[in-house]
């Protein structure tokens, strides 16, 4: 709880095609190991904030420090590498490459990151072994592992996505409404599995949703409309 | 390497599109290379059809026309050259050798060239190569020599019988079934129209056309027969020849008077005894053209002028090399047109690929976003798309080359027999490699369009999936 995982000051972001900034956040701080629910209605700039956190885009002004690294000081390529090494990202849907097997989809995260592989090697784990452990733990039946990802149910696909995000123990997981396509049971199951994994590996979790009923699963809820001062809610 | 495998897996997931793209590129590459190959070999074949002949002389006509019928055996002479005129130039002091040819007949579509045995001695093709016999020897009377293609296609060999018909079409109206000629020789393959030709003596042609000429067959005819093997049949043939309407056969026209002078080649054939005057009978009253070799090659232009301005009969003399070039220039327009068409086919293939790639971008946007999320940079996305296009094109080129070779292997015999063009299965030429390289480079540049788009999308979309 000591150090900050995410620290932002005076973050402003404006899409090139727009005159009004989409984001203006005076201060954002998330501690390491915290599990945060980031809540906001659609259009409140959630996706934009996530792309800043993931280092895909950078703030137009202000500073954003993640894991002690000022992302704007990195060039595009190094920011991509930073994301590959330290951030697990889970989409709302379609997380997997449909033409690869479940197994290959999970290992893909290691293919793009030497750091994740090294981290596993330090614990005497092969990516394959870790992949199998995660899939088992996330209740993906073994007979599905070699199947093409597209043949799985949505709930299964989302759990495989969690496995991919978690493999190699990145410091930060960003999940962008990963449960919106799931029914209540699947959602609760998904959430508890995700929480378990993050807790045991001390991974910071930023979970985005528009669904306020989920807040009790998290340490803290950040209302984007409260911290974002653009006043724009398109 | 991992990226390459990823690109491959992605590509395989879109098999149908990929295969269609490959096929489109393969077809256009095949056309592009095929056109080049056929035209190059046609050009080479052209230049190789005749050499060593300084002038070709025929009745007045266009020079290309004269070349076409005398060398390529395509079309017919509009008029003939009289034997006297031929004799006159044959005895010209500048002329080292001359060979008369008479055309007009065919056997199952293969042209029949009536000439003298000297033809085989003087005719040259390619780099001054003489005609050689696979078996047998030049024809004598009642005999024929056939080109390699004819022998192969009609299954002829020395000793086979051959029936010659009127007209040049494959379907002949009059077949002289009773006049079989005996094959005396088969020529080695040359890759020129000679392969498709049948050579017989002028005299035999004249006899077959006896009815068509205002020329009565002479009595020495039968004397000649005695000098040849197989002459019993010949006598028989004459009696039953329904075409020789005006032809007075053998015994009935010993004393027939020929109003014109003829020199007769077979003069020395034990005719001393017969009462024919000194007038030598020509083997045929008129010929289609004659080939001339000069004592001094540089004098060809003077000789050409002399022949062209000959007063007694309107003649055209051509220098084969120059006219071949003229003919090629006529055809090169066609060649250029073909090249342009095949270039456009290629362009269509590449645009098809571009369209496919652009269309796939939409469905692949999720894929791109996933890759971005796990750390792939925009450059990786760019590389992925470009490498996909380049792989598709490379495979397309390979398939195209395979198709080309397959087509050549299958169609070459047909092309050769139909057009006299030998298309070989030779190695890929530098120019062909170049063309393939151009295709590959073009595909690279074209694929940069969708790749650039994907690059921009991946920057603009961030990690959101916009559908």
Which chain B residues touch A112 with a CB distance below 8 Å?
374-376
What would the two tokens of residue B225 be?
Answer: 């027969």
Subunit contact B464:A51, Cβ cutoff 8 A: yes
Per-residue pLDDT reduced to its tens digit, B347-379 = 888 888 888 888 888 778 788 888 888 888 788
Position with higher pLDDT, B6 vs B274: B6
d(CA A145, CA A128): 12
Q: How far apart are CA B424 and CA B413, in angstroms?
A: 10
pLDDT at position B99 is 94
Of A84, A94, A99, the CB nearest to B465: A94
Distance, CA of B387 to CA of B393 (rounded, Å): 10
3-class DSSP state of B72: coil
Q: In Å, how far is A51's CA from the nearest CA of chain B?
A: 6
How far off is chain A from B366, nearest CA to CA, in Å? 7
C-alpha distance from A91 to closest chain B C-alpha (Å) = 8
Q: CB–CB of B374 and A94 under 8 A?
A: no
pLDDT at B1: 56
Contact assignment for B376 to A112 by CB distance below 8 Å: yes
Q: Kindly tell me if the per-residue pLDDT of B194 is higher than 80.
A: yes
**Which residue on chain A is closest to B464 by alpha carbon?**
A47
Q: Does B176 touch chain A (CB under 8 A)?
A: no
What tokens were used for B52? 């060593």
Q: Do the beta carbons of residue B110 and residue B119 sit within 8 Å?
A: no
Residues A171-201 pLDDT 10s: 899 988 888 888 888 888 888 888 888 888 8
- In a 13 Å sphere around the CA of B349, the CA atoms on its Cβ side amount to 31
Q: Residue B421 has what pLDDT?
A: 66
A57: closest CA among A23, A10, A97?
A: A23
* B198 SS3 class: strand
Are A89 and A164 spatial neighbours (Cβ–Cβ below 8 Å)? Answer: no
- Helix, strand, coil shares of chain B as percentages rounded to 5? 55, 15, 30
pLDDT reading at B221 higher than 50:
no
B139: left (phi over 0), alpha (psi -120 to 50) or beta: beta
Mean pLDDT, to the nearest integer, of B59-70? 90
Over residues A197-218, the mean pLDDT reads 86
Dihedral over Cα of A11, A15, A16, A17: its sign: negative
Give B112's contacts (C-beta < 8 A, 6+ positions apart): B103, B104, B105, B106, B164, B197, B198, B199, B200, B205
Q: List CB contacts (< 8 A) between A97 and chain B.
A: 6, 9-10, 367, 370-371
Return d(Cα B352, Cα B20) in angstroms, integer.
Answer: 9
Find the DSSP H helices in B50-109.
63-70, 83-90
Contact A77/B at CB under 8 A: yes
pLDDT category, B417, cuts 50, 70, 90? low
Mean pLDDT of B144-160: 89
Contact present, B144 and B200 (Cβ < 8 Å): yes
- ipTM of the complex as predicted: 0.84
Assigned token pair, B297: 């090659």
pLDDT band at B247 (very low <50, low <70, confident <90, very high): very low
Alpha-carbon torsion, ordered B455, B460, B462, B464, to 10 deg: -110
Contacts of B2 in chain A (CB under 8 A): 111
Report H helices in B250-377.
300-308, 320-373
Closest approach of B461 to chain A, Cα-based (Å): 9
Q: How far is CA A191 from CA A218, B217, B276, in A?
A: 10, 113, 123
What digits encode the pLDDT tens for the residues B102-140?
998 888 888 999 999 999 999 988 778 899 999 999 998
**Segment A22-80, tens digit of pLDDT:** 888 888 888 888 899 988 887 778 888 888 888 888 888 888 888 888 888 888 888 88
**Do A95 and B370 lie within an 8 Å CB cutoff?**
yes
Burial class of residue B273 (count of CB atoms within 10 Å of its CB; 0-12, 13-18, 19+)? exposed
* Beta-carbon separation of A80 and B13 below 8 A: no
Confidence band of B406 (pLDDT split at 50, 70, 90):
very high
Q: How far is CA B351 from CA B211, B263, B278, B311, B357, in A?
A: 64, 70, 79, 63, 10
Write out the two tokens for B156.
């002829």
Count the neighbouring beta carbons within 10 Å of the beta carbon of residue B280. 17
Q: Which residues of A touch B380 (CB under 8 A)?
A: 80
Residue in B13, B369, B375 nearest the CB of A112: B375
Out of A16, A50, A109, closest to residue B374 by CB:
A109
**What does the pLDDT look like over B76-85, one tens digit per residue?**
888 999 999 9
Whether residue A99 and residue B462 make contact (CB cut-off 8 A), yes or no, is no
B373, B378, B466: best to mutate for the A interface, most A CBs within 10 A: B373
Query: B150 pLDDT exceeds 70?
Result: yes
What distance in Å separates the CA atoms of residue B235 and residue B316, rounded to the nearest whole number?
39
Closest CA to A79 of A48, A51, A119, A108: A51
| pTM for the model | 0.67
Min mean pLDDT across B283-287, B343-347, B396-400 is at: B343-347
Q: How far is A164 from chain B (nearest CA, A)?
A: 9
Q: Parallel, antiparallel, or unpaired: how do β-strands A87-90 and A4-13 relate?
A: unpaired
Name the residue among B282, B210, B221 with its Cα closest to residue B253: B221
E-state strands within B137-259:
143-146, 161-165, 175-187, 198-201
Kindly report the nearest CA distance between residue B2 and chain A, in angstroms: 7
Helix (H) or strand (E) holding B455: helix B430-461
The SS3 assignment for B212 reads helix
What the block records as the tokens of A90 is: 């889970």
pLDDT tens column, A74-102: 888 888 888 889 988 888 888 888 888 89
Among B2, B13, B464, select the one facing A111 at the smallest CB separation. B2
Percentage of chain A modeled with pLDDT above 90:
3
pLDDT at residue B242, rounded to an integer: 43
pLDDT at B366: 80
Domains and CATH numbers, chain A: 4-13+24-227 (3.40.50.300)
Give pLDDT, residue B171: 46
Helix (H) or strand (E) segment spanning residue A228: none
């Amino acid at each position: 709880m000591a150090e900050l995982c995410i620290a932002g000051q005076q973050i402003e972001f404006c899409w090139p095609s727009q005159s009004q900034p989409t984001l203006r956040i005076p201060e954002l701080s998330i501690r390491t190991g915290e599990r945060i629910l980031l809540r906001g209605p659609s259009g409140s700039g959630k996706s934009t904030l996530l792309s800043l956190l993931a280092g895909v885009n950078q703030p137009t002004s202000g500073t954003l420090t993640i894991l002690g690294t000022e992302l704007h000081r990195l060039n595009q390529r190094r920011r991509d590498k930073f994301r590959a090494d330290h951030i697990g990202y889970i989409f709302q849907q379609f997380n997997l490459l449909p033409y690869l097997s479940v197994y290959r989809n999970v290992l893909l995260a290691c293919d793009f990151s030497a750091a994740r592989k090294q981290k596993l090697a330090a614990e005497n784990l092969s990516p394959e072994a870790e992949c199998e452990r995660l899939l088992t733990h996330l209740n993906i039946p073994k007979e599905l592992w070699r199947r093409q990802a597209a043949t799985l149910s949505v709930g299964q696909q989302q759990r495989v996505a969690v496995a991919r995000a978690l493999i190699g123990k990145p410091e930060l997981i960003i999940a962008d409404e990963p449960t919106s396509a799931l029914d209540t049971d699947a959602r609760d199951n998904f959430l508890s599995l995700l929480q378990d994994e993050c807790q045991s590996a001390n991974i910071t979790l930023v979970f985005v949703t528009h669904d306020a009923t989920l807040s009790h699963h998290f340490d803290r809820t950040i209302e984007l409309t409260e911290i974002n001062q653009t006043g724009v809610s398109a | 390497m991992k990226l390459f495998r990823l690109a491959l897996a992605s590509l395989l997931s879109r098999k149908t599109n990929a295969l269609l793209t490959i096929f489109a590129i393969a077809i256009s590459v095949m056309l592009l290379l095929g056109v080049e190959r056929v035209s190059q070999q046609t050009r080479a074949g052209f230049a190789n059809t005749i050499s060593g002949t300084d002038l070709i002389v025929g009745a007045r006509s266009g020079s290309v026309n004269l070349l076409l019928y005398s060398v390529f055996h395509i079309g017919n002479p509009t008029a003939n050259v009289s034997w006297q005129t031929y004799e006159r130039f044959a005895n010209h002091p500048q002329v080292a050798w001359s060979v008369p040819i008479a055309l007009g007949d065919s056997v199952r579509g293969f042209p029949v060239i009536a000439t003298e045995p000297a033809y085989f001695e003087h005719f040259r093709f390619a780099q001054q190569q003489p005609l050689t016999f696979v078996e047998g020897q030049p024809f004598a009377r009642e005999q024929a020599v056939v080109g390699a293609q004819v022998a192969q296609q009609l299954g002829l060999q020395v000793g086979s019988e051959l029936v010659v018909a009127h007209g040049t079409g494959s379907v002949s109206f009059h077949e002289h079934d009773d006049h079989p000629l005996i094959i005396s020789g088969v020529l080695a393959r040359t890759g020129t129209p000679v392969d498709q030709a049948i050579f017989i003596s002028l005299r035999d042609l004249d006899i077959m056309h006896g009815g068509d000429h205002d020329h009565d067959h002479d009595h020495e005819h039968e004397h000649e027969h005695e000098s040849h093997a197989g002459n019993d049949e010949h006598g028989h043939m004459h009696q039953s020849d329904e075409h020789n309407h005006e032809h007075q056969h053998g015994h009935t026209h010993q004393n027939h008077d020929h109003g014109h002078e003829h020199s007769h080649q077979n003069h020395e054939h034990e005719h001393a005894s017969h009462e024919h005057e000194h007038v030598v009978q020509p083997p045929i009253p008129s010929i289609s053209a004659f080939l001339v070799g000069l004592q001094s090659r540089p004098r060809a232009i003077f000789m050409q002028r002399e022949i062209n301005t000959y007063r007694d009969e309107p003649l055209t003399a051509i220098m084969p090399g120059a006219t071949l070039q003229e003919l090629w220039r006529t055809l090169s327009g066609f060649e250029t047109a073909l090249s342009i068409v095949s270039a456009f086919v290629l362009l269509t293939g590449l645009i098809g690929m571009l369209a496919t790639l652009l269309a796939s971008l939409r469905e692949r946007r999720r894929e791109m976003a996933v890759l971005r999320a796990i750390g792939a940079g925009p450059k990786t996305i760019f590389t992925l798309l470009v490498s996909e296009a380049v792989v598709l094109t490379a495979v397309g080129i390979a398939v195209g080359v395979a198709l080309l070779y397959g087509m050549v292997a299958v169609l070459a015999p047909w092309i050769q027999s139909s057009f006299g063009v030998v298309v070989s299965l030779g190695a890929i030429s530098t120019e062909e490699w170049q063309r393939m390289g151009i295709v590959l480079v073009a595909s690279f540049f074209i694929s940069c369009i969708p790749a650039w788009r994907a690059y921009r999308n991946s920057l603009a979309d961030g990690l959101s999936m916009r559908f």
